[in-house]
Amino acid sequence: MMDQVEPNDKASGPTPPDWLQELNRAILESALDCIITMDAGGIVREFNPAAERVFGYSRAEAVGQELAELIVPPLLRERHPQGLAHYLRTGEGPVLGRRVEIAAIRADGTEILVELAITPLQIAGQPIFTAYLRDITERVRTERRRTAQYGVASVLAGSWSLPEAGPQIIQTIAASGEWVFGAIWIVDDSAGEMRCAVTWRGEQDGLEEFEEATRTTSLPAASGLPGRVLASRQPTWIREVTEDANFVRKEAAAAAQLRGGFAFPLCAEGEVYGVLELLSPAIASPDADLLQLVEALGSQIGLFIRRRKIERELEAQKEAAEAANAAKDRFLATLSHELRTPLTPVLMWAESMAGRADLPEDVAEGLQMISRNVQLEARLIDDLLDLTRITRGKLQLRLGQVDAHELLARAIAIVQGSIDERHQTVQTRLEATHHRIHADAARMQQVFWNILGNAAKFTPARGTIAVQTHNPAPDRLLIEFTDRGIGIDPKSIGKIFDAFEQIDVHREGLGLGLAISKAIVERHGGAIYARSAGLGHGSTFTVELPIA
């Protein structure tokens, strides 16, 4: 492409023919990119309409001006004439023939990012440079926001605590500007103040003492920059923190050469859980792009803090519940042992005395009553001990090959006295062809007489209890205990296997037998469940076990 060169008081050189000037102008005016032509002296020779829109200068204002003074930021201006002189000497330039991203400045002083490509041409032996520029400020900002949001989301997803995630979060956000220090402050509701939970500092010297001051400072509500954000629930800028009367750490900030401050709330479910604070060595001015960025990040980080707070509370509740359960188990174990110790000699003496033939009838009956009640008390204590072993995971099983039908016969024999007292009948239909199981004989027998004892307890006098076995599959054994007793309210079915739950509160016992039976059966790889048509319709308890 040939570029138009117009004569003026700052430039000399050949003038292209009129037709070439018209062609040049048509191309320049139709271009979407900014096109700026510069001569060997660094003077602007052409400034197309796109450049006018982007940089805020009219063509008349731009043409004839030095390009470096027009759109190059002050910090980069010295490099511009140096690069131009180098090209004139060697014919080489570091940015020629390449696309680079570089800062530029507009007429109003605001900085933008542009994508730049420069093409050198020769017209009548004189170098002419055509710069093609595209404003990429918004694109870069969008990419920066997405990168920050993705980076923060990735950090939060892979972290379990704020101290772990915090420094990376602050560093990711600080990369969006000239921030060299950051802190996350957490609201302490119990103390009515804010405390620093996490800090991050960049490579600038002298930040260590300010970091220490931040970590050791507690801010009352509305105090300092974080407190101001907490009170307003809005992002807040401080142009110069060392001149702000409400900035508690301004002396430490001055020593660390920190000037600008910015902070934004970390919110979730309408509540502020913390504040993220950033400090810079430069004066801070409101930045609409940063505000858009932190609006989304504030809720992301706030939700993370809220989740971790809830998890800590739940963990504390869990630990308290576990401690309470452990204390209860120790109490039950100690109480059971201490109660059982004096019962043993009482039971032995009562049983031996009751067998004497020379005792009066009323005395013998009294001793038998004592024996029965001591045995009941001993059974309750055994249940408490078993429950303690189960809850502690210390229930020991002595497994071996046993015959379930034989265990049922022994269990029936154990409760036969209670059944006879009530003039009840036990009907057995042992139809299972496979009834050998891998089990602890004593514990499984305990399950059977627990269920039979309950059936006898809740079945009216002269009632019938049915025991039936069968194999629903070659590898399974079902044992069903059916009574015609008071039945079970459907509302209670789901709770009858819970410890200390009783179907009838007027009956004796602690409600531990079924809970213990359930634990024993499940330790054998089986299941136990109950069904009932309701109160007054009896119930059926089923024990399902694997065949050995």
* Domain containing residue 71: CATH number: 3.30.450.20
Please indicate, yes or no, whether residues 153 and 130 belong to a single structural domain of this protein.
no
Cβ burial of 287 (10 Å; 0-12, 13-18, 19+) is middle
b/e 256-274 (16+ beta carbons within 10 angstroms → b): bebbbbbbbbbbbeeebbb
**3-state SS, residue 203:** coil
Look at residue 431 in the predicted model and tell me its pLDDT.
94
pLDDT of residue 13: 47
Residue 479: band (very low, low, confident or very high) from pLDDT cuts 50, 70, 90: very high
Residue 59 has pLDDT above 70, yes or no: yes
Distance in Å from the first CA to the final CA of the chain: 93
Do both 153 and 102 map to the same domain?
A: no
Place of tokens 């154990």: 414
Q: Phi and psi of 478, rounded to 5°? A: -110, 135
Residue 361 belongs to some domain of the structure: no
- CATH code: domain of residue 482: 3.30.565.10
Nearby residues of 508 by Cβ (< 8 Å), 6 or more positions away: 376
According to the model, what pLDDT value does residue 143 have? 77
Q: How confident is the model at residue 323, as a pLDDT?
A: 85
| Calpha distance 3→59 (Å, rounded) | 15
Last residue of a domain, one of 309, 338, 363: 309
Is 366 inside a domain boundary?
no
Share of the chain above pLDDT 90, in %: 34
pLDDT (tens digit per residue) in 9-27: 444 445 555 544 554 555 5
Q: Highest mean pLDDT range out of 26-30, 319-323, 347-351, 420-424?
A: 420-424
pLDDT for 185-203, tens place per residue? 998 877 778 899 999 999 8
Q: Examine the fold and report which residue of 275, 309, 343 is the final residue of a domain before the chain moves on.
A: 309
Last residue of a domain, one of 135, 169, 195: 135
Q: How far is the CA of 147 from the CAs of 280, 393, 395, 398, 416, in angstroms?
A: 21, 50, 56, 62, 78
For residue 11, what pLDDT is reported? 41
Q: Among the listed ranges 155-159, 335-339, 397-401, which one has the minimum average pLDDT value?
A: 335-339
Is residue 515 in a domain? yes
Q: Which residues on neighbouring strands pair with residue 393, listed in sequence order?
A: none
Q: Tell me the CB-side half-sphere exposure of residue 131, using CA atoms within 13 A.
A: 28
- How many structural domains are present in the chain? 3
Mean pLDDT, residues 454-467: 90
pLDDT at 397 > cutoff 90: no
Higher pLDDT, 274 or 385: 274
**Residue at 349 is within a domain:** no
Chain position carrying tokens 């993370």: 304
Length in residues, the chain: 548
Q: What is the DSSP letter of 234?
A: S
The pLDDT value recorded for residue 25 is 57
Q: Note the pLDDT of residue 27.
A: 52
For tokens 């520029």, the residue is 133
In a domain, 12, yes or no: no
Asked whether residue 424 falls in the same domain as residue 520, the answer is yes
Higher pLDDT, 242 or 95: 242
In a domain, 336, yes or no: no
146 and 272 belong to one structural domain: yes
Comparing 132-146, 324-338, 424-438, 534-548, the range with the smallest average pLDDT is 324-338
Top pLDDT among 339 and 534 is at 534
CATH number of the domain where residue 178 is located: 3.30.450.40
**Is residue 173 located within the same domain as residue 97?**
no
Residue in the block written with tokens 């200068």:
57
In terms of DSSP bridges, do strands 464-473 and 425-430 run parallel, antiparallel, or are they unpaired? parallel
Q: Are strands 218-220 and 236-238 parallel, antiparallel or unpaired?
A: unpaired
Range of the domain at 81: 18-135
What is the mean predicted confidence (pLDDT) over 405-418? 89
| Average confidence score pLDDT of the chain | 83
Query: Does pLDDT of 418 surpass 90?
Result: no
Average pLDDT over residues 213-236: 90
Residue 249 near residue 242, CB atoms below 8 Å: no
Predicted confidence (pLDDT) per residue in 251-260, tens digit: 999 999 999 9
Residue 523 CB neighbour total at 10 angstroms: 16
Residues 183 and 129 in one domain: no
Name every residue whose Cβ is closer than 8 Å to that of residue 532 and which is 6 or more positions away in sequence: 487, 488, 490, 493, 538, 539, 540
Provide the token pair at 540: 């059926």
407 and 537 housed in the same domain: yes
302 lies in the same domain as 178 = yes
Q: Which band of pLDDT confidence, cut at 50, 70 and 90, is reported for residue 210?
A: very high
pLDDT over threshold 80, residue 434 = yes
Categorize the per-residue pLDDT at 160 as very low, low, confident or very high, splitting at 50, 70 and 90: confident
Question: Which residue, chain included where needed, has tokens 């119990």?
Answer: 190
Indicate if 172 and 261 belong to the same structural domain.
yes
What confidence tier does 320 reach under pLDDT thresholds 50, 70, 90?
A: confident
295 and 146 in a single domain? The answer is yes
Distances (CA, A) of 485 to 118, 177, 370, 447, 474: 100, 80, 28, 19, 32
Give strand pairing partners of 82. Answer: none
391: in domain: no
Q: Is the dihedral of CA 87, 94, 33, 73 positive or negative?
A: negative
- Per-residue pLDDT, averaged over 531-539, amounts to 88
Determine which of 112-116, 140-144, 187-191, 310-314 has the lowest per-residue pLDDT on average: 140-144
- Calculate the CA dihedral of residues 221, 222, 227, 231 and round it to 10 degrees: 100
What is the pLDDT at residue 211? 95
- Tell which residue, 508, 389, 523, has the closest CA to residue 454: 508
**Residue 420 in 3-state DSSP?**
helix
Question: What is the per-residue pLDDT for 400?
Answer: 93
- Are residues 204 and 102 part of one domain? no
One-letter amino acid at 377 equals E
Query: Is residue 342 one of the residues assigned to a domain?
Result: no
User: How far, in Å, are 186, 449, 456 from residue 425 at the CA level?
Assistant: 71, 15, 9
- Does residue 489 carry a pLDDT above 60? yes
Model confidence at 212, in pLDDT bands (50, 70, 90)? very high
DSSP3 helix / strand / coil % (the chain, rounded to 5): 45, 25, 30
| pLDDT computed for residue 467 by the predictor | 95
Q: How many other CB atoms are there within 10 angstroms of residue 402's CB atom?
A: 19
My answer on whether 130 and 179 are in the same domain is no
